[in-house]
Amino acid sequence: MSRTATVVGAGPAGLMAAEVLVDAGFAVHVYEHMPSAGRKLLLAGRSGLNLTHAEPLDQLLGRYGAAPKVTAAVRAFTPDDLRAWAAELGASTFVGSTGRVFPTEMRATPLLRAWLARLTAAGVQLHTRQRWIGWAAASTAPTLVFRTPDGATAEVSSDVVVFALGGATWPRVGSDGGWADTFRTAGVDVRPLRASNCGLLVSWSPRFVDAHAGAPLKNVAVGVRDHWVRGDVTITAEGVESGPVYTQSAAVRDAIDATGTCTVHIDLLPDLPVADVVARLGRRRPKDSLTNTLRRTLGLSPVAVAFLREATGNELPVESEPLAALVKGVPLVITATAGIDRAISSAGGIALADVTDGFMLRSLPGQFVAGEMLDWDAPTGGYLLQASFSTAVAAARAATAWVDDRD
């Protein structure tokens, strides 16, 4: 008799779990509430699909913080394994200048198309427009209930289940976090879903927004509690965004949770020690305005000068030493991050203490969880997709072992 597996969610984690399970001899059915599979993967690849990162493995594992189950999964299915998997689908990869790994074609569409074709050829059956709404009465096998397109319900039983429903970011592509209360009702510890890798909200003046929204602060450093991240920062109508901001957003979020605010510092000249900034300011010409001094002696762009004025209420110090200190650490008091619906990823989810090392729910034998549903966090740079794939592989392998042990 064929072994059966149900995968709930057709994003990167769900499709990877389906592949491992079908290769292990399961009859696999994947259920997705959106009209098509892989929508969030396509969204991730809109500006270049950053699959993983090429930094040394031990350094990469440190990006996942205190989440040993996640790091064990990444150690078992590494960035090299992920790149080899992509190559099997005809998507060769390359390492960018910052260590990020991309398909040569950059886009997600060719990879997803090849992947879905391979899954279909292997026998995986995809059922779209099927929303999971809970469990049926207790039975000898996990029995799930789905809402069908016509509004009716259908029950599906299988030997094992892998849930891969994503977090709560970009709900228009399927990750709406609607599963959280269903699991809580079943007694699973689900931590609140919160925005991660997101922008920071700042109450700019209308004049500043009109003049500079969309403009970059080039080659700056973003500091939170003495930890600095280099790169460009984009001014938006709501605040600030970009890679360095996203990397620091988790620390900002946690500080706001603890105290209500977080002061973020922007170093406008990270390559210059403060003493050099003081010396350059000391060469100002007597007839120059302060704005011209900042531009001529320090090379600050017009948006950087405007940013200095905006952040200080246009109360810039005249003396070289305090002005240099300000340039080296413009303070922004942050009281909120951008909403979770536009964040790159979400923190929170099913507590790792509530799953085994193989990501089986302790209270629901035979039912496993993978991807962003789990309570782990990581910065952008390929770490998010890597862990989603790796935890899916780990969950599917553990599901296979669980069924093997029962046979």
Which two structure tokens, joined as six digits, stand for 340? 């979770």
Instruction: Tally the residues of the chain.
Output: 407
pTM of the model: 0.90
> What's the pLDDT at 27?
97
Report the distance separating Cα 111 and Cα 41, nearest Å.
Answer: 10
> What's the pLDDT at 1?
53
Distances (CA, A) of 198 to 178, 246, 357: 20, 5, 29
Write the DSSP symbol of residue 319.
Answer: S
pLDDT-based confidence at 168, cuts 50/70/90? confident
Average pLDDT, the chain: 93
| Placement of tokens 């992509």 in the chain | 86
- List domains and CATH numbers for the chain: 3-196+345-406 (3.50.50.60), 200-334 (no CATH)
Distances (CA, A) of 149 to 129, 132, 154, 312, 323: 6, 12, 11, 55, 63
Please list, in sequence order, all residues whose beta carbon lies within 8 angstroms of the beta carbon of residue 111, skipping any fewer than 6 positions away.
Answer: 45, 49, 86, 89, 90, 91, 103
User: Residues 45-59: what's their mean pLDDT?
Assistant: 91
> 244-274 pLDDT, tens per residue?
999 999 999 999 999 999 999 999 999 999 9
> What's the pLDDT at 283?
87
Single-letter amino acid code for the residue at 206: P
> What's the pLDDT at 56?
96
User: Residues 279-292: what's their mean pLDDT?
Assistant: 86
Does residue 290 register a pLDDT over 80?
yes
**CA angle in degrees (0–180, nearest 5) for 104-109-114:** 90
> What's the pLDDT at 16?
98
> 186-205 pLDDT, tens per residue?
999 999 999 999 999 999 99
> What's the pLDDT at 11?
94
pLDDT-based confidence at 342, cuts 50/70/90? confident
> What's the pLDDT at 140?
59
> 89-147 pLDDT, tens per residue?
999 999 998 899 999 988 899 999 999 999 999 999 999 999 999 999 765 568 999 99
pLDDT-based confidence at 341, cuts 50/70/90? confident
> What's the pLDDT at 6?
98
> What's the pLDDT at 288?
81
